[in-house]
Amino acid sequence: MRVRIKRIDPSLPLPQYETSGAVAFDFVVRTDTVIPARGMGRAPSNVAVEIPAGYMLWVTDRSSTLKKTGLLITEGVIDRDFCGDNDEILLQFYNPTDSPVIIKRGDRVAQAVFLPVGRAEWEEVLATGNAGRGGFGSTDNRAPVSSIPQSAASPQESGKFIVIDGIDGSGKGTQTDLLIERLRAEGHAAVKADFPQYGKKSAGLVENYLNGAYGTGGEVSPYVASFFFMLDRYDASFGLAEQLEQGKVVVANRYVSANMGHQGAKFRTREARQQYFEWLDQYEYGVFGIPRPDLTVVLHVPAQIGQLNIDQKAMRAYLSGATRDVHEDDVSHLEAASQTYREMCALFPGFKLIECAPDGRLLSIPEVHGLIWEQVRRVLQ
């Protein structure tokens, strides 16, 4: 049987049958992939496959994968019509361990087999005439009737969660305060959240990092630095969830998006950055279970303007006398972060970009607020 196949990276080998009697071939992972602790991740297989008519492709793990890595693969069916040039097969894994697992480029951690299939033509009947056994999945699992919900619980009233983000010196704090005033004037119960929570124990590692205690911003791994901020958000998440359940509108000055922008800027390739975005999303919202925003507004200003605005700020206690933190003091980092924020707004529908200096003219504070309000108003409708 001849099968048409496309390699994404021609420098890696084609999938191979390891022995003459093998019925399954091994995939080769295209890029280093981090599978987060107790989380999901997807490793690119480097191939798009044109599955022959009358067949499906069944993907499963290799017998050595669990033993060597501790990972469990999400087995699955790939249909024949999943065969476009950009339909690279992604191998999805679950990591049940307490530590991240790295799958290296070139690793063989999954295999697949072509299986013949048929399509059903349904003949509907009132009864099959066969004895019932409780349904597929019911063997040895007889739940008492009293434990089965009879109706869905009434949904609780929920508020809205809005984040204002952007590089340092973009006016986030000012616009956050203005938005809260506008919301309250419009009759909404609006509350403010600030991240990081400077001065609280949960932000201790964040303050050390921003003060340069662990080296320059570029010397600290984006994955390591992300945990500092992540733990602080987890500490705040209980109060956030309670406020949202009460129907309030929470407006946050920075949130997960700040890690995405600043730590994501440390990656040299878009592919590595997007892999980091997936990892961060899984940890923040999947593992730690913090509230997900309804809207993230990103304020964009040129890095040089941002630094000028930073220098006009009042002294901040966490900087111990310095005027800038490790991010603020590095204009090249701010430029990279600015570009990363733009990339995020193009990738994620819930992120909206506000150009605060179109054509080089810095908009007034009320003008920027008006643009933000247009985005917020749509979420509140």
Q: What is the pLDDT of residue 141?
A: 47
Q: Residue 102 belongs to what H/E stretch?
A: strand 101-103
- pLDDT of 3-14, one tens digit each? 999 999 999 999
Q: What is the mean pLDDT of residues 87-95?
A: 93
* pLDDT of the residue at 75: 80
What ranges in 111-221 are assigned the alpha helix state H?
Answer: 172-185, 204-210
CA distance 40 to 87: 20
Among the listed ranges 210-219, 241-250, 348-357, which one has the minimum average pLDDT value? 210-219
Rounded CA separation 254/194 (Å): 7
Six-digit token string for 244: 């949202």
Q: Which residue has the higher pLDDT, 124 or 89?
A: 89
Residue 93 confidence class, pLDDT cut points 50, 70, 90: very high
The predicted-structure confidence for 278-293, as pLDDT tens digits, reads as follows 999 999 998 999 999 9
Give the pairing type, strands 351-355 and 295-300. parallel
| Superfamily of domain covering 160-380 | P-loop containing nucleotide triphosphate hydrolases (3.40.50.300)
Determine which of 99-103, 166-170, 224-228, 246-250 has the lowest per-residue pLDDT on average.
166-170
Name the percent of the chain lying above pLDDT 70.
85
**What DSSP letter does each residue of 200-232 carry, written as one string?**
SGGGHHHHHHHTTTTS-GGGS-HHHHHHHHHHH
Amino acid 84: pLDDT: 84
Burial class of residue 147 in the structure, from the number of CB atoms within 10 Å of its CB (0-12 exposed, 13-18 middle, 19+ buried): exposed
State the pLDDT confidence band at 144, using cuts at 50, 70 and 90: very low
Does position 275 have pLDDT exceeding 70, yes or no? yes
Domain ranges of the chain: 4-116, 160-380
* Domain 4-116 shares a fold with domain 160-380: no
Query: Pairing state of beta strands 76-78 and 55-61?
Result: antiparallel
In the predicted model, is pLDDT for residue 78 greater than 80?
A: yes
Q: Which of 138-142, 148-152, 293-297 has the lowest mean pLDDT?
A: 148-152
Residue closest to 75 by CA, chosen among 59, 87, 90: 59
Q: What share of the chain is helix, strand, coil (3-state, %, to 5)?
A: 35, 20, 45
Q: Tell me what the pLDDT averaged over the chain comes to.
A: 86
Q: What is the pLDDT of residue 310?
A: 54
In the CATH hierarchy, which top-level class contains the domain 4-116? mainly beta
7: exposed, middle or buried (Cβ count in 10 Å: 0-12, 13-18, 19+): middle
CA distances 270 to 266, 339, 347, Å, are: 11, 11, 11
11 — alpha (psi -120 to 50), left (phi > 0) or beta? alpha
What tens digit of pLDDT does each residue of 325-342 get?
555 667 788 889 999 999
- Calculate mean pLDDT across residues 157-183: 91
Point out the least confidently predicted range of 53-67, 173-187, 321-335, 367-381: 321-335
